[in-house]
Amino acid sequence: MTLSILIWLPLAIAVVAGQLPARITGRLAAAGSLVTLGIAISFLARFKLSHPGLQFVTDQVWISALGIHYKLGLDGLNVSLVVLGCLLFSAMWGTGERVRATTKLVVYTLVGSFFMLAGAIATGALASSQHGTPLTFALSSLQHLPLSHGSQEWIFLAFAAAFLVKMPLIPFHGWLADGYKSMPIPAVAVFSGILSKVAAYGFLRIVLPLFPFATVHFQLLMLLICLVSILWSTSVAFTTPDARLVVAYSSVAQLSFITLGIFSLRSQGAQGALLQMLNHGLVTAPLFFIVAALAARAGGSEKLSDMGGIAFRAPVLASLFLIVAFATLAMPGSSNFIGEFLILLGVFRAKLAISVIAFLGVVGAAFYALRVFIGAMHNRPRPRVASRGIGISDFIPMGALALVILVFAFYPQFGLKRSEPTVNATVSSVVPPRAIVASPVTPAAR
């Protein structure tokens, strides 16, 4: 079984399901996503731990004139993310609403993608002209063809712009509020739980290995952007009246922590960032579902001031919310804590002052996470609140994700052990600055 099945099976099901009556579509989609999840888990089970390079590689020529290959593979960086993606898609079975994107979102993503496309073309073209080799876009080949410092710098900025918009980090988040508010909840959950991570993954997969000089050069800038982003999003989450936006801004804060960990350029920071990518998906998706469940009990309003006292008749919902809220604020004992611990430890060793200031974000998270929990669940019920327990179809996805959170809390090593060899290889391609000046980088030095 090759990796292609993970990509083409959902697409095939989507094409087929679209032709069928609505009632069957939902079931088929649910079954399809569960099968995909099963296949993904089977890859996870067969994944070899000590191997830093790609496994299960599929490699075929696509456009030979331009040196473009159709190449897939799993390694420590992406294996857990693939499973997470399948898990989250399975978790939102049965809820199918059309996604309406706003102009802002389209413009932002378009501009971001444009930067990225330009950066990608430039990388391939410049690598071949600077080294006199045939044109290629394969990451594994480009790793051995380092660009000149000047080219690395501007291409780094192009990629960074694309990724920072995608996540988004402050101040590149102009689309966030409108975009998140106009989308239906399952779309928001996918957007925030999975797509935002593509950008963080991009930093690890593309930027660090291909532009090591620029990475070191812009490290401080990136760390400062992350720091500002953490503090800003945390303080907005303090006061914003909208429950969905609190979750959105908390997501921004967590992504800022993830990027902070990557740009600590220490293996602890990168390991923490990778673990936190998993954790972030595991908490953000259920948080958005919970916001939907809360709104359904507060007369359709997502304003915290219209909620309150919902725990009263919905103890199961309240318990799930509590577990997810504690994980979101990275309470020690959750896997999120280990993620943040490693991230901050990495930053601590790289730039002590930034790490100390970033801790303000940790305290702030405790406040805003509990602010939403208390505001929605506790105190006296507001006039429009009609609390009721959650039905089985709402419980299964949220309960399953909460269960995964709890299992991870007991054993975060599960998320760490697969990625360690690859992360160490990635980070060590950047960190010894002498190694990146001229000679080709050996990706699997260990």
Partner 1 sequence: MTATTFAWLVLLCPLVGTVVIALGWNRWPGRSAGWIGTAAIAAAFGCAVVTLVSIRTRAPEHRELSSTLWNYAVTSGLDAKMQILVDPLSVFMITVVSGVSALIHLYSVTYMQSDRGLHRYFAYLNFFVLSMLLLVLAGNFVILIIGWAFVGAASYLLISFWYRRSTATRAGLKAFVINVVGDVGLVLGTFFIFKHTGTVDFLKVFALTPHVFGHDSTDLVVACLLLGVGAFAKSAQVPLHTWLPDAMEGPTPVSALIHAATMVTAGVYLIVRMHPLFEQAPTAADVTAIGGGLTLTVAATIALVVTDLKRVIAYSTMSQIGYMIMGASVGAYSAAMFHLMTHAFFKALLFMAAGSLIGAMAGVQSLDRMGGFRRVLPFTFVSFMVGGLALTGLPPFSGWLSKDDILAFLDHRGGGFEILGVLGYLGAFLTGLYTFRMIFRAFWGEPVEEARELEHGHLAHADVPRNPMTGEEEDTDIGFPGPGHYIAEREMPMKVAMGVLAVLALIGGLIQIPGVDLGIERFLSTTFADSHLVRSEPSTASSWVGLAIGAGAALIAITIAYRVWVAEPGTATRVRERLPALYTFLANKWYFDEAIDFLIVRPALTVGRLAGSVLERTVIEGLLTGGAVGAVRVGSAAVRRWQTGFVRYYAAAMLICLSGVALYFLISS
Positions touching partner 1 (CB under 8 A) are 103-104, 107-108, 111, 171-175, 177, 232, 235-240, 266-268, 271, 309, 311-312, 315, 319, 326, 329, 331-333, 337-338, 341-342, 344-345, 348-349, 355-356, 359, 362-364, 366-367, 370-371, 374, 377-380, 411-413, 416-417, 420, 423-424
Cβ distance to partner 1 smaller for residue 144 or 378: 378
Q: CA 298, CA 379: separation in Å to the nearest integer?
A: 14
Helix axes 335-350, 243-262, angle to 10 degrees: 50
**Bridge partners for 68 per DSSP:** 63
Q: Which is nearer to partner 1, 296 or 356 (CB)?
A: 356
**Nearest approach, Cβ of residue 121 and partner 1 (Å):** 19
Among residues 83, 358, 52, which one has the least CA distance to residue 234?
358
Q: How many Å separate Cα 182 from the centre of its chain? A: 21
Q: Which of 257, 143, 251 minimizes the C-alpha distance to 207?
A: 143
- Distance separating alpha carbons of residues 446 and 432, to the nearest angstrom: 14
By C-beta, is 137 or 321 nearer to partner 1? 321
Nearer to partner 1, 138 or 353 (CB): 353
152 or 355: CB nearest partner 1: 355
Residue 386: name the closest of 314, 297, 303 by CA. 297
Q: How far is the CB of 174 from partner 1 (least distance, A)?
A: 3
Closest to partner 1 by CB, 159 or 249: 249
Query: Measured from the CB atom, is 93 or 203 closer to partner 1?
Result: 203
As measured in angstroms, the least distance from the Cβ of 82 to partner 1 is 20
Shortest Å distance, C-beta 352 to partner 1: 9
CB–CB of 77/55 below 8 Å?
no
CB of 345 vs partner 1, minimal distance in Å: 6
Provide the residue count of the chain.
Answer: 446
Which of 415, 129, 396 has its CA nearest to residue 274? 415
The helix, strand and coil proportions of the chain, stated in percent and rounded to the nearest 5, come to 70, 5, 25
CB of 162 to partner 1, least distance (A): 13
* Residue number, 4 or 319, with CB nearest to partner 1: 319
**For residues 431 and 425, what is the distance between their CA atoms, to the nearest angstrom?**
10
Single-letter amino acid code for the residue at 281 = G
In the complex, the smallest distance separating the C-beta of residue 66 from partner 1, rounded to whole angstroms, is 21
**Distance from C-alpha of 29 to C-alpha of 33, rounded to nearest angstrom:** 6
Using only C-alpha atoms, what is the Rg of the chain? 22
d(CA 298, CA 439): 62
Q: How far is the CB of 220 from partner 1 (least distance, A)?
A: 20
Identify residue 439 by its one-letter amino acid code.
S
